[in-house]
Chains A and B, each alone.
Chain A
Amino acid sequence: MATIVETAALPRKRNRALGRFMRNRAAVAGAAIVLLVILVAIFAPWLSPYDPIQASFMTVRRAPSASHWFGTDELGRDVFTRLLWGARASLLAGVVSVGIAVVIGVPLGLLAGYFGKLVDGVISRFTDALLSIPFLILAIALAAFLGPSLTNAMIAIGVSAMPRFVRLTRGQAISVKAEDYVEGARAIGLGHFRIIVRYIFPNVLPPIIVQASLTVAMAIIAEASLSFLGLGQLPPAPSWGSMLNTAKDFVSQAPWMSIFPGIAIFLAVLGFNLLGDGLRDALDPREL
């Protein structure tokens, strides 16, 4: 009985969600921006007019011009080119960090929400402890321990963001667990694992997707922050955050070095925020 209701409900729900999404102009704009960032990241080598790493000491700190749309930096490299290549680092940082957070956090949250009692107690205390340490400080300490690099920054951000997903998933799992069809599944003797995977997880998914998109935005800013502090992607590899780290010492002489990477971060983050918002509006029936 329950299964029939399910399979009938889902396709309609999905179509309605898609329709709602497409009608939301801001959401579509967000999706478009995200798509743009992804494309830029993938096609950076073909889109760049210059080499992002090769220093050119003759063209140090030139203002924006026809040959260098966004000017050059302190080692004579084209800012526009580095911006395009930097998209890779930022996008990777955003997606992989959240990936780590989701892959660790969601299963933990499911276990905590579903089994409750001792399992929940242990996982929740651990999560609370992580959440009591301010996110950025935890990320800084982790990144300092691991050493400055993009990979380590991603791990640090992922681990620091993980508690949110645990909390979210746990809360959702608890409320889904109380639903009738789950009770029914238990009644007919389905194993825990199957219940979690087939019934709890799919219904927990929508808010997780929303949160994931919003967390990607947060992770991009976090990576930029870590790089800004000297703990993330280090020069000469281009990353928007480390470009800003260097640029801050040249703000008076070469303001374009600071302006454009910041705008890039802003746009990427805005895109993911809009996308997340759009997804929430589309998937969450309450907002009607």
Chain B
Amino acid sequence: MLRIIANRALVAIPTLILVSMMIFGLQKMLPGDPVMAMAGEDQNPQVIATLRLKYHLDEPVPVQYALWVKAILHGDLGASLRTDVPVTKLIAQKLPVTLQLAVMAMIFAIGIGLPLGVLSAANKGKALDYGANVLALTGMSIPNFWLGIILIFLVSVKWQLLPSSGYVSPTEDFWLSIKTMLMPAFVLGAALGAQLMRHTRSAMLSVLRSDYIRTARAKGLLRGTVVVKHGFRNALIPIVTVLALLFGELLAGAVLTEQVFTIPGFGKLVVDAVFNRDYAVVQGVVLVTAVGFIVVNLFADVLYVLLNPRLRKS
């Protein structure tokens, strides 16, 4: 067990190094540099020269990379080139926002996807199955930013039911916080719920076909019990792995959702930073995301092994 975790962690290290190099290299290739943006309208050459020196922008790329890595190992992710706010502080501010969005979206996704998937599998071939599948395909095929625009127009502008943008911290005002996040979470969760439903359905279907289910039915157990107790529990394994995969999709979807709804979260931070050539922020945030992703995958792998007794022996 421990050996599996250790193994996975070891493998993650070269991946992490590769990620850091990739992102660093990519940033450096972007045309235009942040110093020009920092020097603003006036473009004073003296100021530009000073800033280039301060941020080591004229040194060879490998040197800059080495300096960056050295700083990271000291816990310093640099500061936003645009506002001087330390990247660690930015992450600490923005991560809870995106996490709240992600959690609420996941609640929508799981709340819609799982039951629909199970029901669908249990009623394979019937109208319910067909209808649920249509719903899932619709959810998967609608571009979520478009759904966001249309919902903002209808719900916020026309009917004035929910706020159209911004973020309120749950500690500040819990219900307003939920209200503000409701539409974005729904938009993000809908697509994920659709995918989750399909995965759940196929996982359930393959489980329901298996021998032990047939045995349970033969024993005379109630259909409901069979489905939930025996079927679902075993279907959890592939579902959990899918959830880990969906986490990555969640982050990607959050980027767009945060743009459309102007939510000051992680995704918006990265997009704005790419456009502003705010190197430090992009590098720091992507690195943290990659680490998070690897950790989540590790977690999922461990969970997978825990849930599946057959794997534990190896």
Contacts and interface: CB of A to CB of B under 8 A. Distances in A.
- So, do A and B actually touch in the complex, CB under 8 Å? yes
A196 to B, nearest CB: 26
Interface stretch (A37-45, A46-54, A269-277): A269-277
Interface in A219-247: 221, 224-225, 228-229, 244, 247
Contacts of B14: 125
A133 B141 contact: no
Contact of B248 (A134, A145, A261, A277): A134
B306 interface: no
B255 interface: yes
A244 B274 CA distance: 21
B71 interface: no
A270 B289 contact: no
Interface string B50-83: 0000000000000000000000000000000000
Interface string B121-157: 0000000000001000110111101110110110001
Output the residue of A217, A221, A224, A274 with the most chain B CB within 10 A: A221
B239 to A, nearest CB: 18
Contact of B289 (A133, A217, A247): A133
How many of chain A's residues touch chain B, expressed as a range?
35 or more
A266 B274 contact: no
B109 to A, nearest CB: 17
Contact of A140 (B15, B140, B274): B274
A137 B150 contact: no
Contacts of B27: 141
A276 B301 CA distance: 28
Contacts of B138: 266, 270
Contacts, number: 132
Contacts of B153: 251-252, 255, 258
B286 A133 contact: yes
Output the residue of A132, A147, A229, A269 with the most chain B CB within 10 A: A132
A128 B256 contact: no
Contacts of B142: 262, 266, 269
B19 A225 contact: no
A225 B286 contact: no
A259 interface: yes
Contacts of B133: 26
A27 to B, nearest CB: 12
Contacts of A135: 248-249, 252
B251 interface: yes
Contact of B251 (A134, A266, A269): A134
Contacts of A17: none
A137 B18 contact: no
Contact of B15 (A128, A141, A244, A267): A128
A145 B26 contact: yes
B97 interface: no
Contacts of B167: none
Interface of B: 11, 14-16, 18-19, 22-23, 26-27, 29-31, 133, 137-138, 140-143, 145-147, 149-150, 152-153, 157, 206, 248-249, 251-253, 255-256, 259-260, 267, 270-271, 274-275, 282, 286, 289-290, 293-294
10 contacts: A134-B248, A135-B252, A137-B252, A140-B270, A141-B27, A141-B274, A244-B145, A248-B149, A259-B150, A273-B137
